[in-house]
């Protein structure tokens, strides 16, 4: 999931800079996932789509393809013809993938 070599080749940054971006993204997940979940519970699909979009872009930049795909699916579904069951299941997958990212981030720092 975390691929420093790919990030380094693409952006020419060192490991410390990469870790800074990963930490910032981890903080965004901590701050924004509860809000995303709340918007979903309120069935506020335009805001669900916008919140997913906000998280999709940094996930893509950092090469976190699984999270990027999940946020893209949520953004797209919430924007078009929202399927609440799909969105709820996708939210569970986002939470699981976020937990894996956090574990991998901790391992990467070690």
8 Å CB contact between 48 and 87: yes
Q: Which pLDDT belongs to residue 104?
A: 92
Tokens representing 8?
Answer: 């380094």
Q: Which residue has the higher pLDDT, 49 or 2?
A: 49
**pLDDT at position 7:** 76
The neighbour count for residue 27, using CB atoms within 10 Å, is 10
How many CB atoms are closer than 10 A to CB 70? 24
Query: Where are the chain's structural domains?
Result: 4-109
CATH of domain 4-109: 1.20.120
If you write DSSP's letter for every residue of 12-63 in order, what string do you get?
---HHHHHHHHHHHHHHHHHHHHHHHHHHHTT-HHHHHHHHHHHHHHHHHTT
pLDDT in tens, 20-58: 999 999 999 999 999 999 999 999 999 999 999 999 999
């Amino acid at each position: 999931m975390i691929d420093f070599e790919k990030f380094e080749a693409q952006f020419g940054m060192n490991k410390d800079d990469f870790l800074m971006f990963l930490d910032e993204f981890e903080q965004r997940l901590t701050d924004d996932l509860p809000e995303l979940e709340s918007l979903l519970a309120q069935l506020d699909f335009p805001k669900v789509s916008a919140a997913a979009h906000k998280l999709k872009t940094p996930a893509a930049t950092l090469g976190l393809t699984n999270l990027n795909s999940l946020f893209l699916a949520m953004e797209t579904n919430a924007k078009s013809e929202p399927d609440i069951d799909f969105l709820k299941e996708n939210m569970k997958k986002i939470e699981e993938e976020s937990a894996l990212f956090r574990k991998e981030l901790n391992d990467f720092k070690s």
